[in-house]
């Protein structure tokens, strides 16, 4: 069930894939975990997301920052709570879904998360390409997307050790570039003067707040993929704070840069770097574009963890080993790259709809997982039974988990606001996005009540079976 990991090379080639990480191979640290989550947000995509507040929603710079800060502070709580599970269990985040949804049911959730990871991989490719094309307009877009994708695929093939070492270096480099760009923009206040119409709207504020929450919860399905490499003695609190602070500090910081650029050029915030800052802005764009290709490997790496979880559940004859992981990485990378090439022309519209859909599918899973881990089981899981094809104590299909997930999705439907679908109650609420609140609360409460009812019913049944009959 395990493969021996080499320990002599400078960079260790990953061989554990979705298996539990033994204590003697947990070479992560609190600092490296913090650096991963700082670096992973230092992307041009984060800039574009922040620009939605001042560009698409028309919020003033002050209200944009308030919405971004509030949304990220709330959403990162969920992501960091998921991350705190990693040192204790030592397994990828979505593999743990088997405990809430069953051996086969968990593969459905892993499949949903896989689509999310491939979507982000594709989105980051498009925005990284845009950053470089803004500086080098003579470079054709499609070959550039393919080249950037190849970098991410190669790093993901090597695995966690290379990823965490690269991210530790890049997080510092890009942070310096972002600070320089932000200071330079502040020194050009005339460039970020907004129209008189910019200000506060409930729809814009809560819409951006929901995007901030979504942005952070999008990390929830893979935070334990990295915290599982922390030694168990590190404890949940250290994993929580390294993840929380890394995610919030980097996201808010880079999104604020996006707010300023969105005010300068609502149509193309990345181009504003070059337009306002000249050669300095061009240099920042090059750093953004090149480093995004490397950071993007994290999206693909965790997507592959989900794909392997689903493959192991659905195909008995497939052995999950290093060869399978490498092949899966290439296949997933190619699929996501084709998606980037296909969706390049209407990126902003596609991306905003993607983010809205992402929120609706992640919220119920997050609530169910957190309630199950912290309230129902209190962190006590039989890890190796999660690999039992017969389901073990968790079963092949968990009706309570899957049923609650469906209820959570349904609870959001009346309140949803997107370009694809708008719920019947959205207009009555002034198009303020509260779907995430309904989805999280309903999913968490229904799951807890259903589990408690099932436990009481099982206890009564045992009492009846043990009571002697006359």
- CATH code for the part of the protein at 23-360: 1.10.4160.10
On the 0-12 / 13-18 / 19+ scale of CB atoms within 10 A, 323 is: exposed
What residues pair up with 59 in beta bridges, in sequence order? 199
- The per-residue pLDDT for range 221-231, each reduced to its tens digit, is 889 989 999 99
- The model's confidence at residue 6, banded by pLDDT at 50, 70 and 90, is very low
Whether residue 49 is predicted with pLDDT greater than 70 in this model: the reply is yes
> The tokens 């296949």 sit on which residue?
331
Give the pLDDT of residue 4: 46
Query: Is 274 buried (19+), middle (13-18) or exposed (0-12) by CB count in 10 A?
Result: buried
d(CA 258, CA 269): 7
C-alpha distances in Å from residue 231, one per residue of 26, 90, 134, 199, 239: 5, 9, 44, 48, 10
- Using one digit for the tens of pLDDT, what is the confidence trace for 240-288? 999 999 999 999 999 999 888 888 887 788 888 878 888 888 888 888 8
* pLDDT tens-digit map of 73-125: 999 999 999 999 999 999 998 899 999 999 999 888 888 888 888 888 988 89
pLDDT of residue 453: 92
Cα separation values, 345 from 65, 138, 194, 289, 407, Å: 29, 17, 27, 18, 36
> CA end-to-end span of the chain, whole Å?
51
Query: Residue 373 above 90 pLDDT?
Result: yes
Looking at residue 466, what is its pLDDT?
62
Check pLDDT > 90 for residue 185: no
The per-residue pLDDT for 58 is: 83
Lowest-confidence pick of 80-89, 397-406, 411-420: 411-420
Instruction: Note the pLDDT of residue 2.
Output: 44
Task: For CA atoms 182, 155, 245, 371, give the dihedral sign.
Answer: positive
Tokens 């039989």 -> residue: 382
Whether residue 60 is predicted with pLDDT greater than 70 in this model: the reply is yes
Q: Write a three-state SS string for 389-413.
A: CCCHHHCCCCHHHHHHHHHHHHHHH
pLDDT value, residue 12:
82
Q: Which pair of structure tokens corresponds to residue 428? A: 């009555």
Domain positions in the chain are: 23-360
Residue 234, pLDDT above cutoff 50: yes
DSSP 15: -
Please report the pLDDT score of residue 431 as a whole number: 77
| Predicted pLDDT at 73 | 96
pLDDT at 8 over 50: no
Q: What is the pLDDT of residues 380-395, one digit of tens each?
A: 999 999 998 888 889 9
Mean pLDDT of the chain: 85
């Amino acid at each position: 069930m395990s493969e021996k990991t080499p320990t002599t090379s400078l960079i260790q080639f990953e061989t554990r894939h979705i298996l539990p990480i033994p204590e003697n191979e947990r070479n992560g640290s609190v600092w490296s975990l913090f650096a991963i989550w700082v670096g992973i947000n230092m992307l041009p995509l984060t800039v574009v997301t922040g620009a939605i507040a001042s560009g698409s929603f028309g919020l003033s710079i002050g209200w944009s920052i308030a919405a971004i800060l509030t949304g990220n502070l709330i959403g990162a709580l969920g992501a960091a709570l998921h991350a705190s599970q990693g040192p204790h269990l030592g397994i990828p985040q979505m593999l743990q879904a088997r405990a809430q949804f069953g051996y086969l049911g968990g593969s459905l959730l892993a499949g949903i998360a896989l689509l999310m990871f491939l979507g982000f991989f594709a989105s980051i490719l498009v925005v990284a390409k845009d950053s470089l094309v803004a500086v080098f307009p003579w470079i054709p877009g499609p070959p550039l997307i393919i080249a950037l994708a190849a970098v991410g695929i190669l790093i993901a093939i090597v695995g966690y050790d290379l990823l965490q070492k690269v991210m530790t270096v890049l997080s510092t480099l890009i942070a310096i570039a972002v600070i320089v760009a932000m200071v330079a923009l502040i020194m050009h206040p005339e460039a970020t003067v907004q129209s008189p119409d910019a200000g506060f709207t409930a729809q814009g504020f809560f819409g951006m707040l929901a995007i901030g929450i979504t942005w952070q919860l999008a990390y929830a399905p893979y935070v334990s993929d990295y915290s599982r490499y922390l030694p168990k003695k590190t404890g949940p609190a250290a994993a929580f704070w390294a993840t929380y602070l890394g995610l919030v500090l980097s996201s808010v910081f880079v999104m604020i840069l996006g707010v300023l650029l969105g005010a300068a050029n609502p149509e193309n915030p990345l181009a504003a770097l070059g337009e306002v800052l000249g050669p300095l802005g061009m240099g920042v764009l090059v750093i953004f574009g090149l480093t995004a290709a490397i950071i993007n490997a994290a999206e693909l790496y965790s997507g592959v963890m989900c794909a392997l979880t689903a493959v192991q559940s659905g195909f008995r004859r497939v052995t999950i080993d290093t060869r399978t992981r490498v092949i899966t990485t290439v296949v997933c990378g190619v699929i996501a790259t084709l998606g980037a090439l296909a969706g390049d022309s209407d990126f902003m519209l596609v991306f905003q709809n993607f983010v809205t859909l992402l929120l609706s599918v992640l919220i119920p899973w997050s609530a169910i997982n957190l309630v199950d881990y912290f309230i129902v089981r209190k962190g006590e899981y039989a890890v190796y039974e999660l690999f039992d094809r017969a389901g073990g104590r968790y079963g092949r299909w968990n009706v309570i988990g899957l049923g609650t997930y469906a209820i959570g999705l349904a609870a959001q439907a009346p309140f949803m606001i997107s370009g694809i679908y708008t719920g019947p109650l959205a207009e009555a609420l002034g198009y303020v996005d509260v779907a995430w609140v309904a989805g999280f609360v309903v999913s968490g409460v229904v799951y807890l009540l259903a589990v408690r009812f099932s436990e009481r019913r099982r206890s009564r049944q045992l009492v009846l079976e043990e009571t002697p009959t006359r």
